[in-house]
Chains A and B, each alone.
Chain A
């Protein structure tokens, strides 16, 4: 059995479940946004702002951002551990992408909560 610390889940099974669960959330969020654009033919700033100021949309957006963080963290780790073999370079890139994803999350949280 291979042990690793850089991914999100405690095991391959855990990662597998997390990737699929987060993908479901992201798929529903995409449908939610597409649905908004379909039923709103003329999207003005006021309509856009009122859509995102709704409590449900805020919660759903934050959930989608967390799902994106988990999904991309595991995905990036899988790609890096396939293609980047030097441990220091891999660790450095993993650190960079993990911090970047956390920045996206925090920036998203502040943006959504500021509406």
Chain B
């Protein structure tokens, strides 16, 4: 079976502007493979094709890309899940392209850095040995800590497209809530102070593109809703 791919190509050193290039790949009848395996085979034919990859099993978050109009990880998206005569691959939208499917994630990481993604503990009343959590306290982190920062969510969010320098974005906010709700973190008030402006959290209008595309099945909109509730509760 012949599968056609249309892949976004742009090398700023030689191309004046981006263009779409068609590739053909012969896939044995009745077999399936991941999109990443397919573009790896295409790279054997055309070594100039560039994309990021690392773990090839949905853990590292390197190969986020736009597959037939929807962001996802190429390594865990089977070709059978995108049944189309022509599979269109583009870089994640909204972030600057370095080359082909490789994007510059600086703005994404800057927003992640803003939320201080680490435990802050004032050291008062230190435990004798270690900071223990009850089962209930630990359960609150489920659905939050699994984020692999692939940027599929933030780059599918119009609010992040328009204000990537001011709106934290769904990935950053999911992590922000992960630390806000952590029983071992004592900087809740300071974290909320940093988020109460009109952009950081409140640019989220709950359209749920992030939930739709998250390859790990997480729900950033729900976490953002919890942050808004925390901000409102302490404001009224």
- A-side residues, CB < 8 A to B, are 1-4, 7, 9, 11-17, 78, 81-83
User: Which A residues are in CB contact (< 8 Å) with B193?
Assistant: 1
User: Which A residues are in CB contact (< 8 Å) with B162?
Assistant: 82-83
Chain B residue with minimal CB distance to A16?
Answer: B202
Q: How far is the CA of A3 from the CA of B231 in the complex (A)?
A: 17
Q: How far is the CA of A2 from the CA of B197 in the complex (A)?
A: 6
A17 to B: closest C-beta gap in Å = 7
Q: Could you tell me the dominant secondary structure of chain A's interface residues?
A: helix
A58 to B: closest C-beta gap in Å = 30
User: Which B residues are in CB contact (< 8 Å) with A11?
Assistant: 196-198
Q: Which are the 10 A-B pairs with shortest beta-carbon distances? A: A12-B202, A12-B198, A82-B162, A2-B199, A2-B197, A13-B235, A2-B166, A1-B197, A11-B196, A13-B231
Question: Which of B158, B166, B196, B228 gathers most chain A CB within 10 Å?
Answer: B196
User: Which A residues are in CB contact (< 8 Å) with B200?
Assistant: 1-2, 12
- CB atoms of A15 and B163 under 8 A apart: no
- B-side residues, CB < 8 A to A, are 158-159, 162-163, 166, 193-203, 228, 231-232, 235-236
Q: How far is the CA of A66 from the CA of B200 in the complex (A)?
A: 27
- CB atoms of A13 and B232 under 8 A apart: yes
A16 to B: closest C-beta gap in Å = 6
Question: Which of A2, A3, A14, A83 gathers most chain B CB within 10 Å?
Answer: A2
- Sample (23) of A-B pairs whose CB atoms are under 8 Å apart: A1-B197, A2-B166, A2-B197, A2-B200, A4-B197, A4-B198, A7-B198, A9-B198, A11-B196, A11-B197, A12-B196, A12-B200, A12-B231, A13-B231, A13-B232, A14-B235, A15-B202, A16-B228, A17-B232, A17-B236, A81-B163, A82-B159, A82-B163
Q: How far is the CA of A78 from the CA of B202 in the complex (A)?
A: 10
Q: How far is the CA of A2 from the CA of B195 in the complex (A)?
A: 9
B82 to A: closest C-beta gap in Å = 31
Chain A residue with minimal CB distance to B165?
Answer: A2
Chain B residue with minimal CB distance to A6?
Answer: B198
Q: How far is the CA of A11 from the CA of B197 in the complex (A)?
A: 5
- CB atoms of A1 and B194 under 8 A apart: yes
A74 to B: closest C-beta gap in Å = 9
Contact of A17 among B194, B198, B235 (CB under 8 A): B235
Q: How far is the CA of A1 from the CA of B193 in the complex (A)?
A: 8
Q: How far is the CA of A81 from the CA of B199 in the complex (A)?
A: 10
User: Which A residues are in CB contact (< 8 Å) with B228?
Assistant: 16
A70 to B: closest C-beta gap in Å = 14
Chain B residue with minimal CB distance to A79?
Answer: B162
Q: How far is the CA of A54 from the CA of B196 in the complex (A)?
A: 42
A-B contacts besides A1-B196, A7-B198, A13-B231, 10 pairs, CB < 8 Å? A2-B199, A11-B197, A12-B196, A12-B197, A12-B201, A15-B198, A16-B232, A78-B203, A82-B159, A82-B163
